[in-house]
Amino acid sequence: MEPQRKRRKGSACDTDSWVAYPVLSDEQSQDVELIEAFAAPIVDKKETSRLVRELNGLYPMITLQHIKRVRACKEEGSPHPLEVLVCLVSDAHGQEKMVSIDSLLPSDFRRDGLGEPFVVKVPARPPLTRPQFEIASKHWPLAFHEDKQVTVALKGELFSPLQKAKMHMYMTTALTAAKAGREGGMEAVGAVAVDPAMDRIIAVSHDCRGKHPLHHAVMVCIDLVARSQGGGCYSYDQYPACHFSSPSSNPFENTSEGEPAFQPYICTGYDLYVTREPCVMCAMALVHSRIGRVFYGTTSADGALGTKYKLHTQKDLNHRFEVYRGLLSKQCEDLNGLEDHFEKEHLKE
Amino acid sequence: MNCSFTDLEENTLIAKDALSNGEVPVGCLLVHQNQVIGRGRNQVNQSKNATRHAEMVAVDQLLDWCRHRNRDVRAVCERTALYVTVEPCVMCTAALRLLHVPVVVFGCRNERFGGCGSVLDVASADLPRTGTKFKVCEGHRSDEAIQMLKTFYKQENPNGDQTHTHTHTHTHTHCVHICVLCTFLFPHLFISLFLLPFFLHFDSFSLFFNRVPSFLCLSSFFLLFSFL
């Protein structure tokens, strides 16, 4: 552990060189989808509340609960002050896009104060992030229940300098392990499992594919966490850079309040730092292991936490977690760059 | 000869182990040129490693088998089929791709984690850096097999949530475990019958065992075993 401690001092000031961005679900990161609707000017402002009430009864627009029914007119000096959504174009069966207000409303509807309809585009889905909200609200006003954490995270400002310094240290440990793996003739990938509650490294691993084709760094790390809990299946004695720390050496375990000792369960509540985006097998192994959060340096071609899949946001799976990318991205990319270089050399041969 | 009496005995031991450990009831076999070179059942609770699915355990045996005979792992895997009671999860599907296993035969679908079409289709997805795509054969009458898994999942995981008490519905547990037992026994049947779909037998057994008390299941199973 001695060299890592030295590194911590030297690198803590480099935390400005990288930004951790969240890897959000497709729903959170996709473009704003628009659908067409008929709107009509409200010529007489006094009729507004009646018109909204009666239109809500006639065309409830259940799928568009996020849309505000009425908007103020944008342009200065507009002949009418407000505009109201009448219905979706798809709700007006068999209607052309050029319609009269009479064809949209039943004969017993009081049309007082309502002008002739026109087509507008409104956001089809509620906005989930501030960027989505800002784009969507240009088309039609809508409600937005903001997740402040996501907003801050998207700006890359979620973590304080102190947190970033810790993250920097853990990823540096993963990088050191990755280099050890590379020196042993394996792929340059390193992983570190951390208990964030205790600020403590539980396991450090690197790729061990030399003896076992499935011993990717993340799989090794998960097994080392199991060993730290008295389980595990493999011995990594021939790889000194792969190690774990047993919870028995944990000073917090014997709590003075007489609480029952905390029993760690697989990777619940742990953070994983890995130099590159995990593959499908490793990502699903992290789902099975109930990992708390995952931080990775660079993306990978078949990656399953953002690139090919987003297993951490997969609706059908029973565990979801936060993923951040970009930690020490430059240094992690350099590892991969070397690897690509080796691969090309290999292909040439 | 592919299976000897000691093999059978060993199977029974593994199956008994499964019975007493309350793991998710999945059993699998890796068959290479009519020979079982890997067999596994879930060891998640036992190893405290959530990745110890039956497939991963069986793969370790395959690797040992290759090591002892000095055989090339990839060459062996490319001529190996996996037989498993339940659709492999996303992780195992990716692992089988990475090993270049060409065929996977399974009984019922796995709606919670399945990687061969249920949650995701990793088996035939375009992932150029994740091994080779493989063929999937779904077993017959998967409904009953699904029902058994559901029955198992109704119980609580003893390690999953420590605030709840752990209550087992014993008949169901045993019925489910019998299926594991069956899976471990059947290689010998299906090898002798050129890998005839063992799920047919598997299903009829489970139907039978679902209707009799668990101790009877056990005793009749052992009767059957001695008969074989």
CATH node for A159-247+264-347: 3.40.140.10
In chain A, whose CA is at the least distance from the CA of B63? A212
Pick the range with the lowest mean pLDDT from A142-156, A235-249, A254-268, B64-78. A254-268
Is residue A27 predicted with pLDDT exceeding 80? yes
Bridge-partner residues for B31, per DSSP?
Answer: B36, B81
- The answer to whether A316 contacts B52, with C-beta atoms less than 8 Å apart, is no
- Domain enclosing residue B75, as ranges: 5-152
**Do the bridges between strand B80-86 and strand B103-108 make them parallel or antiparallel, or are there none, so unpaired?**
parallel
Structure-token match 């990823």, residue found: A171
CATH number for position B40: 3.40.140.10
Phi-psi sector, A253: left (phi>0), alpha (psi -120 to 50), beta: alpha
CA distance B143 to B90: 21
Residue in A331, A293, A327, A299 with CA at minimum distance from that of residue A312: A293
- Amino acid sitting at position B9: E
With contact defined as beta carbons under 8 Å apart, do B122 and B93 qualify?
yes
Any domain includes B219: no
Contacting residues of A for B56, CB less than 8 Å apart:
214
Residues of B in contact with A318 (CB under 8 A): 112
The residue count of chain A comes to 349
Residue B121 belongs to some domain of the structure:
yes
Residue B175 lies in a domain: no
Q: Which tens digit of pLDDT belongs to each residue from A249-295?
A: 444 544 444 444 567 889 999 999 999 999 999 999 999 999 999 99
Query: Which three-class secondary structure string do you get for chain A?
Result: CHHHHHHHHHHHHHHHHCCCEECCCHHHHCCCCEEEEEEEEECCHHHHHHHHHHHHHHCCCHHHCCECCEEECCCCCCCCCEEEEEEEHHHCCCCCCCCCHHHHCCCCCCCCCECCCEEEEEECCCCCCHHHHHHHCCCCCECCCCCHHHHHHHCCCCCCHHHHHHHHHHHHHHHHHHHHHHHCCCCCCEEEEEECCCCEEEEEEECCCCCCCCCCHHHHHHHHHHHHCCCCCCCCCCCCCCEECCHHHCCCCCCCCCCCCCCCCCCECCEEEEEECCCHHHHHHHHHCCECEEEEEECCCCCCECCCCEHHHCCCCCCCCEEEECCCHHHHHHHHHHHHHHHHHHHHC
For B174-205, how does the pLDDT look when each residue is reduced to its tens digit (9 = 90+)? Answer: 334 444 444 444 444 343 333 333 333 333 33
ipTM > 0.90, yes or no: no
Residue A166 has pLDDT above 50, yes or no: yes
**A95, A37, A28, A32: which is closest to A61 by C-alpha?**
A37
Chain B 127-156, residues with CB within 8 Å of chain A CB atoms: 127-130
Provide CATH 3.40.140.10 ranges for chain A. 159-247+264-347
Task: Tell me which residues of chain A, numbers 250 to 289, contact chain B at a CB-CB cutoff of 8 Å.
Answer: 263, 265-267, 279-281, 284-285, 287-289
B90 touches chain A (CB under 8 A): yes
Reported confidence tier of residue A44, pLDDT bands at 50, 70, 90: confident
Beta partners for residue A324, in sequence order: A22, A295
Provide the Cα torsion A70, A72, A74, A79; round to 10°.
100
CA of B225 to nearest chain A CA: how many angstroms apart? 31
Q: A311 at the B interface (CB within 8 A)? A: yes
CA distance B179 to B201: 10
Residue B161 lies inside a defined structural domain of this protein: no
Residue pair B74/B101 in contact by the 8 Å Cβ criterion: no
DSSP 3-state assignment of B209?
helix
The pLDDT value given to residue B161: 39
pLDDT at B149: 62
Q: Under an 8 A CB cutoff, do B119 and A314 touch?
A: yes
Please indicate whether, in this complex, the C-beta atoms of B112 and A316 are within 8 angstroms of each other: yes
- CA gap B219, B228 in Å, rounded: 14
Q: A347 pLDDT band (50/70/90 cuts)?
A: low
Out of A230, A266, A302, name the one closest to residue B129 (CB). A302
Residue B16 lies in a domain: yes
Please provide the average confidence, as pLDDT, over all residues in chain B: 68
Q: Does A15 touch chain B (CB under 8 A)?
A: no
* Domain count along chain B: 1
How confident is the model at residue A62, as a pLDDT? 87
Per-residue pLDDT at A190: 96
Residues of chain A with Cβ-Cβ distance to B162 below 8 Å are 263, 265
For strand B27-32 and strand B35-41, is the pairing parallel, antiparallel, or unpaired? antiparallel
A94-147 per-position pLDDT tens digit: 656 667 788 888 888 888 888 889 999 999 999 999 999 999 999 999 999 999
**Tokens 């389980």 belong to residue:** A231
User: Has residue B55 been placed in a domain?
Assistant: yes
